[in-house]
Amino acid sequence: MAVVASGRTVPKPGPLTVDDLQHTPDDGRRYELVDGRLDAAPAPSSLHTLATGRLTAHLSYAAPVGMLVMDGPGITLDTERTRHRIPDVAVIRSEDFQMPYTTRPPVLAIEVVSPESVFRDHHTKRREYAEFGVPSYWVITPDRDKASIIELRLEDGEYAEVSAAFGEEVFETSVPFPARIVPQWMLRLDGDWRAHIAGPEETEETTRPPAGD
């Protein structure tokens, strides 16, 4: 095993723990731990950052008191502290806030998929978050042509897909709190995203059931 420090590899006996992450270089990459091994991801792309920033802001506005929407929080997944993940966005209860990293399951974890993270986000992290007991998991694909949100919820220890939205469709959920998101408005640059990201406002006319014959 080894830890990276100042651009060089330093041998270290045994598995790495979250304490070793302080020795990783400040090079823009994201360093996580998988069973004591470093898992390094490159700096996120512009689309990834745009989607993450808008999603964090939108969910923060929608979150009720007592819920914290956090951009890239560190989460330690095991008591040995050899598994450590950094979801792109997470929602935690205020009483679960810890420093320097949380060791309690967030109520929602969100990953924005990058080209190199497709398997990690759809499979590896899906399994890890389920084992950790994260009740809700979103996987977001920041595609300029047809962005998407897939919502999974924990059922009997495994995630099951419960909803999905693509492009200009409205994604709507009640977990962990009510929220509406149009996937494409996480990325569009041709208007005020804040006015459109939740979709068209529901009115009495649009929600009224059709009159009987």
* Separation of first and last alpha carbons in the chain: 74
What six digits make up the tokens of 163? 């909803």
* 206: exposed, middle or buried (Cβ count in 10 Å: 0-12, 13-18, 19+): exposed
DSSP state of 35: T
pTM summary value: 0.88
- Closest by CA position to 90, among listed 74, 113, 114: 74
In the chain the domains, ranked by start, together with CATH numbers, are 44-199 (3.90.1570.10)
The contacts of residue 22 (CB under 8 Å, 6+ apart) are none
The contacts of residue 200 (CB under 8 Å, 6+ apart) are 170, 206
Q: Which residue type does 15 have? A: P
CA 139 – CA 121 distance, rounded (Å): 7
pLDDT tens, position by position, for the chain (213 residues)? 455 544 445 556 679 999 999 899 989 899 999 999 999 999 999 999 999 999 999 999 999 999 999 999 999 999 999 999 999 999 999 999 999 999 999 999 999 999 999 999 999 999 999 999 999 999 999 999 999 999 999 999 999 999 999 999 999 999 999 999 999 999 999 999 999 999 997 644 444 455 554
Tokens 């006996």 identify what position? 13
